Structure 1
């Protein structure tokens, strides 16, 4: 396609993506993009994913983080990746697509999950209290705030589990004392939601600042000890990202909270360099595992989701 066709191409997509194009790239009137956003629950990806929720239990695929029986099935251990169909992943997708939570609230989803969802790691732990994994707890905190669940203790968990470096690591329970790019970005995104919805508190604001500084000290891209690129995933952009860190996803988070810093420049260059001659960005990686349905393209194809995110990041950066 010609570069001039990119916006039209992006608008010819699902409402979950289209409303963000209208708001973030076209500066459409709020009533326009809000009307498009309202369609997420009734058509396309959002309506399809909603249809897979069990009306009695509130669960997707019968499980909290994994589908029911997945961990007990010997054959599942030989499969690449993991399934992305269970409750936590499904709620996260709906929330990140911008769906109004009203249909889920009307179904008493928060209450049903409090009664019926059990963490595969430890079934004695209450669903809205989270478990031990930072990324799982980050999704749970954001989803709980979105649905109006009681997640106060989970907020405190993030304050208590920040590492000395300033970030978080899902491997803390296995003895790790070093923070992780992946875990830190996911924790920050959840704490951002807490700040936006509740106003936050001194403790959460302190750990948010520390987490931001952890990433910025590393230019969003490099190890602080050696200066090497932190991993091959940092510039391998993908959608859906699930729990994976990339420079694009980190920049989109800083864009959302309105914080620029010169230490982001290398990450911005990574995004710029990945743009194709036709104005798009390619899907560079797809995480294996079962899904309810596909929401983006295969590896090597122009990705509407990544193109929208990259364009809004670069627009924000350049305007600053």
Structure 2
């Protein structure tokens, strides 16, 4: 089967992005398909699982009455809002607007009991919050201000900074870059693109994969493509960022682009390489099997790279 036809047999969340990004379909057709995300399939399922209290699993970052394990499980409010954004649920949909209004009214961070859209303390958590808030139309300028002030000397960010880290991390930096790119679209503050470019330079100096000091691969995990990425960095996520901000591919991205090419299967699809642990509301596929959520961005990246 043709890869595009296979993608179009997927969930509405996949189909509308294929129509927009790979087929250049009429905007009205794209909008009509996107409108289905909140009413059918995975998007509708996520929205339907919101609790009577107006949030998911009774908590901001951690499900209520569950062990407070860092990053697990993935069923609470902040993580579901990220998934709805990645699926492309229309922010103007009434069900989405109702959910955001309830979250703003009810949800508070476990760490310091602040209202959800006031932000937390870790830049990786605040970065996801900013990216989501911009998408849903919520003002989080004070959280962006905090992220700008937390940039490290090497140009990136690290959630471990408050615990003494003096070097940025790929995982936190990519999350903050996505947040700044989102905020930049609605802001004229010149500090935002400048900070974004410094974080991008941090990654590019390391060829998106390697230690600057030795040239060694930083982590084998950065070669493993996952959906949803959660807080994890990988080369495909980084390339998607550079594509989305309109950067031109260059030799510093060459190894990462070649990695994407090399992972293509003979049938024209890409597999899911990893699932980041913890309970989740949606099963987006089995590791090692062809996966639409990896194939779609891989095709977008290769098209951007000139293939």
Indicate if the aligned counterparts of 1:64 and 1:118 stay in contact, CA closer than 8 A. Answer: yes
Sort the Cα spacing of 1:178 and 1:61 in 2 relative to 1 into closer, same or farther, 3 A. same
- Provide the rounded CA distance (Å) in 2 between the counterparts of 1:170 and 1:81: 13
Could you say which residue in structure 2 is the equivalent of 1:229? 217
Corresponding residue for residue 181 of structure 2: 192
The answer for the alignment partner of 1:304 in structure 2 is 292
Structure 1, residues 23-69: CA drift from partner, whole Å, max 9, x if none? 111121212112111110111111110001135x3210100001012
**Secondary structure of the structure 1 residue equivalent to 2:58:** coil
Change (3 A) 1:147 1:308: closer
* Aligned positions of 1:87-236 closer than 5 A: 87-102=77-92, 103-104=94-95, 106-107=97-98, 109-123=99-113, 125-196=114-185, 198-236=186-224
> Structure 1 length normalisation: TM-score?
0.91
Q: Name which of 7, 10, 18 aligns with 1:10.
A: 7
Range moving further from structure 2, 110-119 or 171-180: 110-119
2:12 equivalent to 1:24: no
| Shift in CA distance, 253/216, structure 1 to aligned 2, threshold 3 Å | same
Residue aligning to 1:71: 67
The change in CA–CA distance for 1:114 and 1:23 in structure 2 (over 3 A counts) is: closer
Q: Provide the residue aligned with 1:247 in structure 2.
A: 235
The SS at the match of 2:239 is helix
Aligned pairs, how many?
305
2:35 corresponds to: 38
CA-CA distance at 1:126 after TM superposition: 2.8
Q: 3-state DSSP class of the match of 2:306?
A: helix
**Deviation digits for residues 106-163 of structure 1, max 9, x if unmatched?**
42x444333422212222x332121122221011112222233231110101110000
Partner of 2:74: 84
Q: Give the distance between the partners of 1:106 and 1:278, measured in 2 at CA.
A: 40
Residue by residue over 1:260-287, the C-alpha shift from the partner in whole angstroms, topping out at 9 and shown as x without a partner, is 2321111101111111111111111111
* Distance in 2 separating the partners of 1:265 and 1:25: 22
Q: Give yes or no for contact 1:239–1:306 (8 Å, CA) kept in 2.
A: yes
Residues 35 and 114 (structure 1), Cα distance of their counterparts in 2 relative to 1, 3 Å cut: closer
Q: Is the 8 A contact 2:124 2:159 kept in 1?
A: yes
Look up the SS of the partner of 2:198 in the other structure.
helix
2:55 to 56, 59, 66: 59
SS of residue in 1 equivalent to 2:121:
coil
Question: 5+ residue gaps in structure 1?
Answer: none
1:292 CA displacement: 1.5
Contact 2:90 2:96 in 1 (8 A): no
Residues 121 and 37 of structure 1: is their aligned pair in 2 closer, same or farther, counting only changes over 3 Å?
A: same
| Whole-angstrom distance in 2 between the partners of 1:193 and 1:81 | 23
Is 1:238 matched up with 2:226?
yes
Q: Do 2:223 and 2:235's aligned partners in 1 also have CA atoms closer than 8 Å?
A: yes
Q: TM-score, normalised by structure 2?
A: 0.94
Which residue in 2 is equivalent to 1:271? 260
Any conservation in 2 of the 1:132–1:173 contact (CA below 8 Å)?
no
